[in-house]
């Protein structure tokens, strides 16, 4: 089999360490997609091992193969229909009995299998020792001990897997279900043998599934030429078994399978320490404590959001400078005209304005990955279960809601873990109220422009908390009105605490950042170009004033004032002719510019500001002492120059404002302005909100295009300053806008997933209407109440 390709399917329970082993084996050579026809995530990775090319598929984590959920059905169908060369079943050694239930079901599929006895270190710390040789002999397959997060046993696992692939054989694995069940299995198998050419499944396994009333298998057999005869016999067999066991046949078979697994565990577990508290148990006494659990959780969330904002500011500033440099370089070498404006203002200003927030996105996913991989995320669901039940939801619903902080798309897909259809739909509808990472650039921009650094983390935290509160309220409303019924009881495994692996965290961050950048290169690029066109056209505008003439008059007035108030007293024709005066003016200007850069972002009356002001005055006094006669004239020249620049900037803003107001974007914004004016927004904010319907972060690039900061020398800082200097914007309006962005319509991608998950256009349309209405109400309350209170 030199240079042969070997396909390997990784199977296992959730939290068995399956994905950790997948990452350990494949590294960066992996990609994520969806299985055809469903929204279940498909992970594939590649590994060169000796002379083999390994294709590793990470199957969805499942507890069984009874196909009660989409995940179970996908895993089962992949094994049966795609026929991987080897199945590697990952067992959590610390929960061996529960994990073996899936293992024996996989063995019944009669496919080549290798068992990875994972997390053996955790099991041994609990006092549990497992004889893997006995386990191997009982199951009839190779068993390899592994510790995935330490890369222990990975080479041995690969070697065993390749060996099994080369042998291409698997001994039949049979559980004796007792005379009553075995008789029915034999009877049905004999009937199925006549249809074998139409089947893809092992006959014994197929017979068991028919007795378990598996819907997919039942429908498959029913469609066969002799299917009606088979299903009639199966129905009679099920009635007979129900009379024998006095319970549903599927429950009876499951109990018999558990009895086999229990007996197997007694044979392979050589020592077990009963009543011993693990480290996880001890930590849970604090983190899941009835009184401390919720405050600890909220504290961790608060720390996460402050980390995102404060630490992310440094790399964000570097990216801003890089984007600004690219814009300046492009503007320097491109001739003036529409093409230059499109490249600098539309593409670089738009896409670049979103890319600069990549560090914040990475930090957010870093925090979520650590919480998830450490095992705390499941505790968060447990802690919130009582609250979730109070609003009619399942505790498991909180996991998709938490994932919604990263992105609504995988969060909505994550609702597949909820068995109850009502719980699923309610969770899908309230998940978009969780503040996804796409909204973070909008918050970061507005917070940086209108709130002090000491307030930034608290303001951001309040927006995220508002989303949680609204999700809880709306879930109660939906459960009481649209989806009446009792909530499901909370049943969920709390995995042991683990130290997250660096590789796993980096892979998680890498995947999400690539998705973010792909969006910046596709949707955001397209919308940026569209917004640029709408802002710049029609190009012919009827201005109320001749602004070019006004600017020329201002320049002429400045030259005349300089000549009269500086040139004449010094008896010079022009300031440039007097070298010493020019030097003094340059020195004073340099000191003032340095001071403005140093004090940017400092609070008024802060010690740093006072010290810098004193240092500036000292330097100016030194220049004045060295140039006593020229200093006053230099200061007067700078005063006149500042007044002239302010006057010209005023005319340019007026001209740009009139051009924008008469553009296609301005016309659209003014059309919807009456509807958003009660929220504090003007027509420019309206344009941004319409564009951000495609993707929330587009609001940043849209505002950058509207405020024409594409050529600004400080990147996004220029947009922050433009917003802060806009008299129509206040901190209250900025907060109102953040609230609206938090709540209103899910993005196009999220709406598409809602449609796929609900299999109906009704629910994405409903989600758009109800969230936008709720956003209007909440922003109205924020702005109007804030205005009444004097904010």
* Cβ neighbours for 428, distance < 8 A, ≥ 6 positions apart: 412, 415, 754, 757, 758, 763, 767
Give 539's Cβ-side CA count (13 Å radius): 4
Phi/psi at 146 (5° precision): -140, 155
pLDDT higher for 628 or 515? 628
pLDDT higher for 57 or 496? 57
pLDDT band per the 50, 70, 90 thresholds, residue 775 = very high
Is the pLDDT assigned to residue 662 strictly greater than 90?
no
Confirm whether residue 427 is marked as ligand binding.
no
Most confident of 68-72, 191-195, 334-338: 191-195
Note the pLDDT of residue 33: 52
Of the candidates 741, 326, 693, the one whose C-alpha atom is nearest the C-alpha of residue 524 is: 693
CA distance 468 to 385: 14
Contact between 65 and 108 (Cβ < 8 Å): no
Is the pLDDT assigned to residue 2 strictly greater than 70?
no
pLDDT in tens, 262-298: 889 888 887 665 555 566 667 777 777 777 877 887 7
Confirm whether residue 128 is marked as ligand binding.
no
Confirm whether residue 171 is marked as ligand binding.
no
What percentage of the chain carries pLDDT values higher than 90? 6
CA distance 521 to 519: 5
How many independent structural domains does the chain possess? 5
Give 360's Cβ-side CA count (13 Å radius): 27
Is the pLDDT assigned to residue 118 strictly greater than 70?
yes
Range list of H helices, 334-452: 338-341, 349-355, 358-373, 376-390, 398-403, 408-413, 421-430, 440-450
CA distance 331 to 319: 18
Strands 41-49 and 30-34: antiparallel
Confirm whether residue 274 is marked as ligand binding.
no
* Cβ neighbours for 650, distance < 8 A, ≥ 6 positions apart: none
Is the pLDDT assigned to residue 601 strictly greater than 80?
no
pLDDT in tens, 731-754: 888 889 889 988 988 877 677 777
Q: Is residue 395 part of a domain?
A: yes
Confirm whether residue 746 is marked as ligand binding.
no
pLDDT band per the 50, 70, 90 thresholds, residue 41 = low
Confirm whether residue 27 is marked as ligand binding.
yes
Q: Is residue 276 part of a domain?
A: no
Is the pLDDT assigned to residue 53 strictly greater than 50?
yes
CA distance 70 to 140: 29
Q: Are residues 193 and 213 in the same domain?
A: yes
Note the pLDDT of residue 35: 43
Question: What is the DSSP annotation of 580-623?
Answer: HHHHHHHHHHHHHHHHHHHHTTPPTT-HHHHHHHHHHHHHHHHH
Of the candidates 467, 498, 410, the one whose C-alpha atom is nearest the C-alpha of residue 754 is: 410
**DSSP 8-state symbol, 533:** H
Domain of 194?
A: 179-271
Q: Is residue 413 part of a domain?
A: yes
Contact between 192 and 207 (Cβ < 8 Å): yes
Note the pLDDT of residue 747: 77
Confirm whether residue 58 is marked as ligand binding.
yes
pLDDT higher for 542 or 36? 542
Q: Which residue has the tokens 């996880």?
A: 280
Q: For 229-235, what is the mean pLDDT?
A: 88
pLDDT in tens, 699-735: 776 776 666 554 332 234 667 777 777 777 888 888 8
Q: Are residues 187 and 72 in the same domain?
A: no
Is the pLDDT assigned to residue 608 strictly greater than 80?
yes
Note the pLDDT of residue 585: 87
What's 151's domain CATH number?
3.40.50.300
Confirm whether residue 59 is marked as ligand binding.
yes
Confirm whether residue 14 is marked as ligand binding.
yes
pTM of the model: 0.59
pLDDT band per the 50, 70, 90 thresholds, residue 522 = low
Is the pLDDT assigned to residue 788 strictly greater than 60?
yes
Helix (H, G, I), strand (E, B) or coil at 56: strand
Structure tokens at 309: 């904002």
Contact between 513 and 362 (Cβ < 8 Å): yes
Confirm whether residue 40 is marked as ligand binding.
yes
Note the pLDDT of residue 89: 93
Q: Report the number of secondary-structure helices (H) and strands (E) in the chain.
A: 37, 9
Helix (H, G, I), strand (E, B) or coil at 46: strand
Confirm whether residue 45 is marked as ligand binding.
no
CA distance 349 to 525: 10
Q: Which helix (H) or strand (E) holds 117?
A: strand 113-118
Q: Are residues 578 and 553 in the same domain?
A: yes
pLDDT in tens, 307-349: 776 777 778 778 777 777 777 777 777 777 767 767 776 677 6
Most confident of 107-116, 439-448, 709-718, 752-761: 107-116
* Cβ neighbours for 645, distance < 8 A, ≥ 6 positions apart: none
Range list of H helices, 130-226: 132-139, 154-167, 179-193, 203-211, 215-222
Note the pLDDT of residue 26: 84
Confirm whether residue 41 is marked as ligand binding.
yes
Q: Is residue 234 part of a domain?
A: yes
Note the pLDDT of residue 88: 93
Confirm whether residue 179 is marked as ligand binding.
no
Q: Which residue has the tokens 């396994």?
A: 205
Beta strands across the sheet bearing 5-12: 30-34, 41-49, 52-58, 5-12, 86-92, 113-118, 142-145
Cβ atoms within 10 Å of 190's Cβ, excluding its own: 12
Q: Are residues 647 and 718 in the same domain?
A: no
Confirm whether residue 739 is marked as ligand binding.
no
pLDDT higher for 365 or 774? 774
CA distance 457 to 413: 30
pLDDT band per the 50, 70, 90 thresholds, residue 31 = low
CA distance 687 to 710: 17
Q: Are residues 312 and 456 in the same domain?
A: yes
Q: Are residues 517 and 530 in the same domain?
A: no
Q: Are residues 266 and 397 in the same domain?
A: no
CA distance 663 to 683: 12
Q: Is residue 280 part of a domain?
A: no
Confirm whether residue 15 is marked as ligand binding.
yes
Q: For 750-777, what is the mean pLDDT?
A: 84
How buried is 3 (Cβ within 10 angstroms: 0-12 exposed, 13-18 middle, 19+ buried)?
exposed
Q: Is residue 461 part of a domain?
A: yes
Q: Are residues 640 and 690 in the same domain?
A: no
Q: Are residues 129 and 245 in the same domain?
A: no
Domain boundary among 107, 135, 167: 167
Note the pLDDT of residue 90: 93
pLDDT band per the 50, 70, 90 thresholds, residue 144 = very high
Q: Is residue 277 part of a domain?
A: no
Note the pLDDT of residue 145: 92
Confirm whether residue 61 is marked as ligand binding.
yes
Contact between 325 and 284 (Cβ < 8 Å): no
User: Mean pLDDT, the chain, as a whole number?
Assistant: 79
Q: Is residue 598 part of a domain?
A: yes
Contact between 176 and 208 (Cβ < 8 Å): no
Is the pLDDT assigned to residue 193 strictly greater than 60?
yes
Of the candidates 114, 104, 117, 118, the one whose C-alpha atom is nearest the C-alpha of residue 163 is: 114
CA distance 440 to 360: 8
Q: Are residues 646 and 685 in the same domain?
A: no
Note the pLDDT of residue 519: 57
212-216, 441-445, 747-751: segment of lowest average pLDDT: 747-751
Domain boundary among 625, 652, 679: 652
Is the pLDDT assigned to residue 131 strictly greater than 70?
yes
Q: Are residues 101 and 240 in the same domain?
A: no
Most confident of 288-292, 382-386, 756-760, 786-790: 786-790
Range list of H helices, 627-715: 631-661, 664-676, 683-691, 698-706
Confirm whether residue 232 is marked as ligand binding.
no
Centroid of chain to Cα 114: 34
CA distance 742 to 776: 11
Strands 41-49 and 52-58: antiparallel
Confirm whether residue 120 is marked as ligand binding.
yes
Note the pLDDT of residue 776: 93
Domain boundary among 167, 202, 225: 167
Confirm whether residue 16 is marked as ligand binding.
yes
Is the pLDDT assigned to residue 771 strictly greater than 80?
yes
Q: Is the peptide bond before 301 cis (omega within 30 degrees of 0)?
A: no
Is the pLDDT assigned to residue 68 strictly greater than 90?
no
Q: Are residues 226 and 145 in the same domain?
A: no
Strands 269-271 and 129-130: antiparallel
CA distance 536 to 538: 6
């Amino acid at each position: 089999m030199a240079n042969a390709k070997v396909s390997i399917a990784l199977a296992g329970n959730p939290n068995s360490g399956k994905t950790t082993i997948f990452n350990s084996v494949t590294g960066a050579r992996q990609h994520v997609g969806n299985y055809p026809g469903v929204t279940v995530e498909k992970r594939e990775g590649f590994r060169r091992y000796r002379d083999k090319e390994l294709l590793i598929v990470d199957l969805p984590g499942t507890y069984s193969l009874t196909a009660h959920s989409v995940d179970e059905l996908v895993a089962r169908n992949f094994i049966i229909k795609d026929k991987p060369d080897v199945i590697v079943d990952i067992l959590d050694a610390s929960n061996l009995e529960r994990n073996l239930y899936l293992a024996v079901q996989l063995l019944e599929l009669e496919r080549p299998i290798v068992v990875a006895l994972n997390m053996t270190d955790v099991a041994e710390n609990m006092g549990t020792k497992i004889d893997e040789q006995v386990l191997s002999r009982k199951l009839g397959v190779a068993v390899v001990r592994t510790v995935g997060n330490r890369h222990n046993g990975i080479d041995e696992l690969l070697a065993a897997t390749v060996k099994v692939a080369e042998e291409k054989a698997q001994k039949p694995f049979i559980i004796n279900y007792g005379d009553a069940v075995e008789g029915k299995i034999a009877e049905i198998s004999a009937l199925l043998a006549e249809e074998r050419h139409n089947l893809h499944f092992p006959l014994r396994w197929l017979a068991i599934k028919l007795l378990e009333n598996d819907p997919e298998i039942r429908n498959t057999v029913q469609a066969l030429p002799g299917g009606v005869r088979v299903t009639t016999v199966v129905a009679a067999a099920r009635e007979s078994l129900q009379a024998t066991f006095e319970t549903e046949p599927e429950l009876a078979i499951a109990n018999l399978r558990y009895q086999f697994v229990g007996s197997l565990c007694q044979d392979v577990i050589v020592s077990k320490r009963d009543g011993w508290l693990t480290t996880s148990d001890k930590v849970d006494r604090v983190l899941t404590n009835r009184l401390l659990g919720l405050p600890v959780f909220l504290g961790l969330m608060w720390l996460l959001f402050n980390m995102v904002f404060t630490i992310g500011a440094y790399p964000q500033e570097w990216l801003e400078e890089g984007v600004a440099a690219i814009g300046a370089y492009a503007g320097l070498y491109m001739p003036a005209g529409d093409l230059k404006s499109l490249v600098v203002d539309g593409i670089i200003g738009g896409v670049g304005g979103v890319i600069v927030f990549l560090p914040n996105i990475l930090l957010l996913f870093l925090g979520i990955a650590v919480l998830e991989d450490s095992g705390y995320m499941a505790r968060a669901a447990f802690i919130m279960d009582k609250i979730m039940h109070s609003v009619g939801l399942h505790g498991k619903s909180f996991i998709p809601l938490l994932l919604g902080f990263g992105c609504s798309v995988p969060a909505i897909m994550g609702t597949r873990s909820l068995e109850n259809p009502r719980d699923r739909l309610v969770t899908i509808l309230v998940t978009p109220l969780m503040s996804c990472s796409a909204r973070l650039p909008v918050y970061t921009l507005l917070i940086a422009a209108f709130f002090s650094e000491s307030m930034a983390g608290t303001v951001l935290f309040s927006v995220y908390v508002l989303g949680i509160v609204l999700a809880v309220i709306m879930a109660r409303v939906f459960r009481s009105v649209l989806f009446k019924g009792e909530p499901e009881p909370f049943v969920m495994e709390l995995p042991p605490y683990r130290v997250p692996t660096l590789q796993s965290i980096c892979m998680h961050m890498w995947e999400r950042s690539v998705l973010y950048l792909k969006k910046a290169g596709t949707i955001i690029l397209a919308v940026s170009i569209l917004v640029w066109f709408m802002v710049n056209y029609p190009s012919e505008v009827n201005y109320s004033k001749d602004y070019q003439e006004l600017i020329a008059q201002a320049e002429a007035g400045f030259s005349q004032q300089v000549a009269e108030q500086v040139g004449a007293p010094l008896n010079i024709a022009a300031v440039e002719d007097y070298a010493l005066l020019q030097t003094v003016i340059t020195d004073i200007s340099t000191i003032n510019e340095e001071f403005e850069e140093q004090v940017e972002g400092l609070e008024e009356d802060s010690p740093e500001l006072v010290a810098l002001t004193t240092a500036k005055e000292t330097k100016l006094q030194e220049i004045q002492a060295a140039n006593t006669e020229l200093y006053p004239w230099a200061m007067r020249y700078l005063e006149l120059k500042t007044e002239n620049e302010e006057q010209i900037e005023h005319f340019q803003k007026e001209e740009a404002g009139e051009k924008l107001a008469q553009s296609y974007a301005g016309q659209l914004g003014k059309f919807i302005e009456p509807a958003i004016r009660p929220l504090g927004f003007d027509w420019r904010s309206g344009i941004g909100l319409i564009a951000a319907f495609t993707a929330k972060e587009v609001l940043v690039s849209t505002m950058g295009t509207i405020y024409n900061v594409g050529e600004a020398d400080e990147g996004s800082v220029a947009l922050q300053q433009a917003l802060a200097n806009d008299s129509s914007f206040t901190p209250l309006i900025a907060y109102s806008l953040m609230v609206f962005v938090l709540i209103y319509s899910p993005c196009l991608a999220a709406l598409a997933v809602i449609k796929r998950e609900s299999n109906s256009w009704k629910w994405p349309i409903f989600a758009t209407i109800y969230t936008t209405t709720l956003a209007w109400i909440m922003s109205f309350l924020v702005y109007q109440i804030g205005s009444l209170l004097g904010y």
